[in-house]
Structure 1
Amino acid sequence: MLDELLAAWIGRQRWFGGKGRPIDEFSIDSDVELTPGLRHLIVAVWQEGSRDRYQILLGERGVLPNRLSHARIGAIGHTCFYDALHDADRTSWLLDGMARNETRSGLRMRHVSGVRIDTAPRSLVLGAEQSNTSLVYGDAYICKLFRRLIPGVNPELEVVTALAARDAPHIAQPYGWIEADLDGVNTTLAIMQEFLTPANDGWDLALASVRDLYASLPQVTAADAGGDFAAEALRLGVATARVHHELASAFPTGVVELHEVKRMAENFRRRLGRAVAEVPALREHVAAIEDAYHRVELLTGEVPVQRVHGDYHLGQVMRTPTDWVVLDFEGEPGQPLAERRALYSPLRDVAGMLRSFDYAARHLLADHPQAEELEPRAQEWADRNRSAFLSGYAEGGGVISAADAALLRAFELSKAVYEVVYEARNRPSWISIPLAAFHPRTT
């Protein structure tokens, strides 16, 4: 009965990765009682021959309060089951368990050595996430629970604990985590870190700057608009370079030899071919894109590689009163853990942030009646902030040589090709944003 309730409920959750496909089989792989009325489940979902596993914090009550009606899963007899992550009366077990380094039937709750966890704050679920669920405890902690479970240590836990041990700046301090064995492999279920307050999301700050520019008189430039973002873009570049330095110091580094560089360019080219077949609007830009990829093939030196962020954009950084902080080192969630832990050129992160500046500049133009008139101002804002970010990256110790510039451009265009396909599939009215990446530019 319970598995039937859960199977019907899980398909409707925003974090469920198999939406739109029938569930062929559903089972409860692990069921651990944490306290009376509170259980931790790991469930397996089979769809089209493949299995995914998810974690659920299952609450049980005789009568479900109105404040929890949105979390209801269903009832069996006189017992109502619900998603207990939304129940602040029950989620203190996370703090208690990590504070005590408790182990319960294979579920291991741990805190970072030397830290003290205050178990008093009550939790609140953040509502913006798609693939995970995060709880904020007062103004002290944020605990991210990974709904879909991938066997292995999550790269974010690996990275932030390593950087925190080096007293690295520009990260949110880790406090604890939850783990269990999945397929015999130690697997991260949740990570708890410092909650940054007061702090502002980089994407929101950038959009506020763009709005100020668009609202200014026509003769006002991006440099003169009240919300100029360039000084922040420069500081962000400095912070990015320092994070890359800390990553290179904390983890192994390597080089990509010339034959592997050429293989990288070939991979870019294959993805371009598939994208053009799906989105014909890309065809007129193929020559320029191919030229950028060819310049990578002409490189004559090895390319340094290291651990990187892997999914770097303005939504992954927060501006505190003192500096920029980088979040979410788990890489692209849809990729295998081995790929997320692999060594890449740090220029991959730089390219991701440069693409994010372009998106911020043009995001507000989608479906805008004056989009054509405002396009030059969007280009001006993007160019100004891209240039400031790159200057900050150099100031922080990041090196971008002439050869690096060719690789950076290829990373950018490869990212933009991916974005074109994504927008064509999901937001066709936004396709002009990544298409603008293929026009000549100054940075």
Structure 2
Amino acid sequence: MSEAVIRTVPSPPCLLASLDPLLREWLPRQRWFAGKGRPVTGFSLVAATELLPADARLGLHHLLVRAHQPLVHALRSPERPGDCYQLLIGVREALPPRLAPALIGHVDEGPLAGRAVYDALYDTRPAEVLLEALRSRARVGGLRFEHDPRQEIRTGLVPRLMTAEQSNSSVVFGDTFILKVLRRIVPGVNPDLELPLALAREGCPRVPAPAGWMVADLAGQSWVLGVLQPFVQGAADGWELALRELAKGEDFAAEARALGRATAEVHTALARALPTVTLGHSRMRPLIDGMTARLEEAVHAVPALLPYAPGLRTAFTALADLADEGRTWTAQRVHGDLHLGQCLRSPSGQWSLIDFEGEPSKPLAERRMPQPAVRDVAGMLRSFDYAEHSATAPAPGWAETCRAAYCTGYAEVAGADPRTDPVLLRAYETDKAVYEAVYEARHRPDWLPVPLSAIRRLAAPDASRSHFA
């Protein structure tokens, strides 16, 4: 990549000030903006780099900006006093109609006065700049673009932005690669790059091996900005596939069993690649206390949980009793946010797991902590419930059949069925259902009955014995 295309100079210092009023309106409307419901009071600049010169027909600025909002204790983590977002700002004299959905606004003052600014990922040329930077392993100011030399990144791959709602942004290049551009970022080792790289070293075929990655090196810290992976052409999203089979009245048990095998293969490879730990009483207690505290907060936030709270607490006290009796468990690195939407099935029937970022709302250190592998299993079991309740026609027993098939497939690879530890599985599924109830009450009240149906089951006195045995 020539120096005329990418200039290693910072963007003008007054750039953010000129964009401020536009970003205050535009940023909260984005699907990946985490601070919805609270006004943006200002921005501070973390880093800015000019990737295409603004005085040309097309300009491109890479910005890392911190959005300042009123602090609400229940929603904020001490790790993030203000969320940092990655923005790729395109600059044009006027936007062609095809880029109308990308418009941020028209700048009134500053270095871009009189020009239109927009989300550059909608535009082919800025996306091509990112891919070429990865191909050539460019260094641009504090930005570093890397790629695995064992994977060729060809030129001439036509980019297109995926428009499905996501917590990040993804660009597909010629059905060969997909670039996931992280939007809300934090410094440190991001599991969305760390875990796929570790799995690639283990030769695990269930996760596409990273072909390249974008990093910002700032003040002695690295911030992972994006990951380029092979695109699984013709793959079906697990959620969409499940709903499609439900609509046709087709059985999904065989797919659920295959997905259980794929999950176990990933867990087995992660346990080989990265350290595991033994969880005894002292290490289990903080995990159980965290589950209990989340339940107490949820009961205050969602009054519908109140009648079930005593029964739900027993899911955690039963686990604490086992730890007090000397029971131990193995913890390892896990996916952290596993559900049907994080799985792809190729046309050949091969299942892959994607998006290892974990729950973005949680601190990075927590997302990287070893956990019992059953945490991922619980997430997938909850996903089957969601799919059944999303069906256009009633499908009684569908989720239960899938849950059983998934656990059976998992056991075929892992050598142990998650249902043989019903107390642990119930605790993690309860924790997940409580989280879902809070999320739905805040964001999608019409969906609250979905987790509440699980809450009623999990709060039953014999929940562990009758449902998981």
Q: 2:281: which partner in 1?
A: 258
Ranges in structure 2 where 5+ consecutive residues have no aligned partner:
1-17, 54-58, 72-80, 458-462
Q: Distance in 2 between matches of 1:401 and 1:42?
A: 42
The residue aligned with 2:107 is 75
1:114-129 alignment, distance < 5 Å: 114-129=150-165
For residue 211 of structure 2, what is the amino acid of its counterpart? Y
In structure 2, what is the equivalent of residue 54 of structure 1? 85
Q: Tell me, what secondary structure is at the counterpart of 1:355?
A: helix
Q: Please tell me whether residue 275 in structure 1 is matched to residue 298 in structure 2.
A: yes
> Residues 337-361 of structure 1, C-alpha deviation per residue, up to 9 Å, x if partnerless?
1011100000000111111111111
Q: What aligned pairs does 1:295-306 form with structure 2 within 5 A after superposition?
A: 295-299=318-322, 300-306=326-332
Q: Which whole-Å deviations, capped at 9, do the CAs of 1:83-129 have from their partners, x for residues lacking one?
A: 21111123111111111111011111110132210121121111123
**TM-score, normalised with respect to structure 1:** 0.89
Equivalent in the alignment of 1:418: 435
Task: Provide, for residues 236-290 of structure 1, a one-character-per-residue CA deviation record: whole Å limited to 9, x for no partner.
Answer: 1111111000000111110111233244333323322332333333333334323
* One-letter amino acid of the structure 1 residue matched with residue 441 of structure 2: A
Question: Structure 2 vs 1, CA of residues 146 and 390 (structure 1 numbering), >3 Å: closer, same or farther?
Answer: same
Determine which of 235, 247, 251 is the counterpart of 1:199.
235
> 2:336 corresponds to which residue?
310
Bigger shift: 277-286 or 112-121?
277-286
The equivalent residue for 1:149 is 185
Q: 1:172 to 1:402 in 2, by over 3 A?
A: closer
Shift of the 25–401 alpha-carbon distance from structure 1 to 2, 3 Å rule, reads: closer
Q: How many residues align?
A: 420
The percent identity for this pair of structures is: 45
CA separation of 1:26 and 1:295: change in aligned 2, threshold 3 A? closer
Alpha-carbon offset, residue 55 of structure 1: 1.8
Say whether the 8 Å CA contact 1:423–1:431 is kept in structure 2. Answer: yes
Confirm or deny that 1:331 pairs with 2:353: no
Native 8 Å contact 1:316 1:326 kept in 2? yes
> Unpaired segments of 5 or more residues in structure 1?
214-226, 369-373
Contact 1:351 1:411 in 2 (8 A): yes
* TM-score computed with the length of structure 2 as normaliser: 0.84
Is 2:213 the counterpart of 1:177?
yes
Letter in 1 for 2:254: A
Which residue of structure 1 aligns with residue 77 of structure 2?
none
Coordinate RMSD, CA, aligned? 2.1
Stretch moving more, 38-47 or 155-164: 38-47
Match of 1:381 in 2: 398
2:224 partner amino acid: T
Change (3 A) 1:348 1:398: farther
Is residue 2:110 matched to residue 1:96?
Answer: no
Alpha carbons 2:374, 2:418 under 8 Å: kept: no
Q: Which of 95, 101, 113 is the aligned partner of 1:64?
A: 95
Q: Residues of 2 paired with 1:424 and 1:332: CA distance?
A: 18
Aligned to 1:38: 60
Q: Residue 407 of structure 1 is aligned with which of 407, 424, 434?
A: 424
Change (3 A) 1:26 1:169: same
CA contact (8 A) 2:159 2:171 kept: yes
Q: Where do 4+ consecutive residues of structure 1 move more than 6 Å? A: none
Q: Which amino acid aligns with 1:95?
A: L
1:158-184 deviation digits (Å, cap 9, x = unpaired): 111111122111112211011112443
Q: 1:287–1:33: structure 2 CA closer, same or farther, 3 Å change rule?
A: closer
Tell me what 2:226 maps to. Answer: 190
In the alignment, what sits opposite 1:224?
Answer: none
> Are positions 1:9 and 2:9 aligned together?
no
Alpha carbons 2:419, 2:425 under 8 Å: kept: no
Q: Is the 8 A contact 1:151 1:183 kept in 2?
A: no
| Amino acid corresponding to residue 268 of structure 1 in structure 2 | M
* 1:403 Cα deviation after fit: 6.3
- Is structure 2 residue 257 aligned with structure 1 residue 234? yes
Higher mean C-alpha deviation, range 142-151 or range 68-77: 68-77
